[in-house]
Chain A
Amino acid sequence: MAGAHINQPVAEIDIEELRFSLRRPRSLFSYGMSLLTGAATVAALLPLLSVLYLLAKKGLQGISLATFTELPPAAMAPGGGVGNAIVGTVVIVFLATLISVPIGILAAIFITEFGPETRVASAVRFAAKVLTGLPSILAGVFAFAVVVAVTGGFSAPAGAIALALLMLPTILLTAEEAIKRVPPRMREAAVGMGATPTQVVSQVVVPTALSGILTGVMLAVARAAGETAPLLFTSLFSNFWISRTSPQFLPKTLSDLMKPTASLAVIIYNFSGSPFENQIALAWSAALILVLIVLVVNVGGQIVASRSSNP
């Protein structure tokens, strides 16, 4: 058929019609829409960039070595830092991760691999989805009731439990999604070689899904690190180092943990409302440090994830 058209006369075409022109409504509309998508992209980026800009501008001014190594200053007193808050945030988030990651990942393995159709699996899925929307202040109230009220005082573990409650659904649901994305034929291959269910999960499913699972963990850690409300009810704040013995930033006994603990989020909350110039400046520095910690955790997680997915 194609050959039949070869000798057809070519219609005359005005070269002007082929030229791009914004005077044609169709072209103008299309061009305008393309511009609009670009503008929307910039608009989406704007809040993030402006927050970062403001943080860098205000936060960098007051930052020095003392910011990392010294205790919060009194009103109008010169110097001082947020050293104990950095330590507190790291300790509380670490404890929260220690609680929520094993539970979240193991539960995700159960609801995908071992009992996806069971009632407990659908109950967990439902509960996790509801918990994702849990206002964080409620996690604090809950931890206050079950930990602070029971142990008789504000403490780092109480804060960690409140944060773990917020991290758990994110970790569980992202791990479930990541595990579900492992191709069934890889599972089949392992089963067909005589791998036990545990070996299938530990040698094939989890390593294959690891980057997705880690992404969920990172998201949860990043969210938890920035939470203030739950910590106000649970670990409160402290103007002192976590330990009385040297090195003071290292918790060494259980009683080091079982007392009010400083955190970056709470110091930002406290100092940003302060009438004193030096404390406000420190709040900015603390905010910048918090964002940087979250950034480092995120980037670190991405690197680990990309390494582990490539053999």
Chain B
Amino acid sequence: MSELATTINKTIATKNPSAVPLETLLDCKIEELHYGKFKAVRDVAVKIVTGTITAFIGPSGCGKSTALRCLNRMNDLVRGFKIKGQVMFRGYDIYAPNVDPVAVRRHIGMVFQQPNPFAMSIYRNVSFGLRLNGYRGNVEEKVEQALRQSALWDEVKDKLHSSGLSLSGGQQQRLCIARAIATEPAVLLMDEPCSALDPIATHKIEELMKELQKKYTIAIVTHNLQQAKRVADMTAFLYVDTTQGGRTGYQVEYGPTQKIFESPAEKYTKDYLSGEFS
């Protein structure tokens, strides 16, 4: 068990003595990440512990989304993408040459910045992942369960067969969360899931994240500092390094959210959080 997990276990144990001990689920070390010749990110090292919410914060262009997308190999879609480093998922390097990125993404799901339901019914949206995997159990039950878990059931139970695109933005995003969790991935990556939503919808998603935390490990990118403070157990602060010519994002500091916000070790973190930069 990592040192970090031990620390978190202690924190959690004081809140809830009956909690099961946790371990590092994702151990991400990005030494260098290139898009073609452009060096986008360097020196990110994050350990994500089971059952926690980890937030990536930092200014635009600091590579926080890029770092998050490394965790389930979404960056493979970008032409010229190269990574030096490794991302260990339950002890396996997901960038090892014999690993199937498709299989990785089945275990590490993703919710995107813009709600992106398919042009299908709500029901078919949620059952999409089940169909991909040829699930043979009770699909209806799974769909209901996923919709309940994403706090959308009561709003859509009477119109499961109308289009997913007919919902409001916040509902669409919860539909996307339902779709992502219907196949019960181990980790849920959320790339600025609230940036296209109003404060009320945002609040609902945040409540939802805390609820989902009981079953899923979550990593979230957010440009909303208060959101990180409200929901995240651990926070990584990334910043942009312009000294070497390009704009390369790197990790300045990583630790328990409370510590990052209340007593950051680095000056950059302190300045950014106190609004000196933005």
From the candidates A195, A204, A208, name the one contacting B102 in the complex (CB within 8 A).
Answer: A195
A193-B118 contact, Cβ under 8 Å, with A185-B112, A188-B77 = no
List B contacts of A188 (CB < 8 A).
74, 77, 112, 116
Chain A residue with Cβ nearest B133? A194
Query: Closest chain A residue to B107 by CB distance?
Result: A194
> CB distance B120 to A193 under 8 Å?
no
* Cβ of A191 under 8 Å from chain B: yes
Q: Mark B65-105, 1 if CB is under 8 A from A, else 0.
A: 00000001010010100000000000000000000001111
Partner of B105, one of A186, A192, A204, A208: A192
Which B residues are in CB contact (< 8 Å) with A208? 118-119
**Is residue A246 contacting chain B, with contact meaning CB distance below 8 A?**
no
Task: Please count how many residues in chain A sit with their CB below 8 Å of the partner chain's CB atoms.
Answer: 21
Least distance between B159 CB and chain A CB atoms (Å): 11
Contact status B129-A189, CB under 8 Å: no
Asked if B129 and A194 sit within 8 Å, CB to CB, the answer is: yes
Interface residues of A in 159-196 (CB under 8 A from B): 183, 185-186, 188-196
B58 contacts A by Cβ under 8 Å: no
Task: From B104, B120, B163, B176, give the contact of A207 (CB < 8 A).
Answer: B120
B74 partner residues in chain A, CB cutoff 8 A = 188, 191-192
The CA-CA distance from A195 to B232 in the complex, in Å, is 29
Partner of A311, one of B72, B103, B119: B119
Quick one: CB contact mask for A198-219 with B, threshold 8 Å, 1 for yes?
A: 0100011001100000000000
A/B interface sample: 19 pairs, CB < 8 A: A185-B114, A188-B112, A189-B118, A189-B176, A191-B74, A192-B72, A193-B110, A193-B128, A193-B179, A194-B103, A194-B109, A194-B129, A194-B133, A203-B128, A203-B132, A311-B119, A311-B121, A311-B124, A311-B164
Interface positions of A (Cβ within 8 A of B): 117, 183, 185-186, 188-196, 199, 203-204, 207-208, 309-311
> Residue B161 at the A interface, CB < 8 A?
yes
Is there an interface contact between B129 and A186, defined as CB atoms closer than 8 Å?
Answer: no
Question: Is B180 an interface residue, CB under 8 A from the partner?
Answer: yes
Of A193, A203, A311, which one neighbours B163 at CB under 8 angstroms?
A311
Chain A residue with Cβ nearest B104: A194
Closest to B166 in A: A311
Does B112 contact A193, Cβ atoms closer than 8 Å? Answer: no
A188-B77, A311-B121 given; A193·B129 CB < 8 A: yes
CA distance A185 to B104 in the complex (A): 19
A196 and B76 CA atoms in complex are apart in Å by 13
Interface set, chain B 160-188, CB cutoff 8 A to A: 161-164, 176, 179-180, 183
CB-nearest residue of chain A to B183: A193
Q: Which residues of A contact B204 (CB under 8 A)?
A: none
Q: What's the nearest-Cβ distance from chain A to residue B149, in Å?
A: 16
Known: A186-B119, A208-B119, A311-B124. Contact between A192 and B110, CB under 8 A? yes
With most chain B CB atoms within 10 A of its CB, the pick from A183, A188, A207 is: A188
CB neighbours of B102 from chain A (8 A): 194-196
In the complex, chain B residues whose CB is within 8 Å of the CB of A195: 102, 105, 132
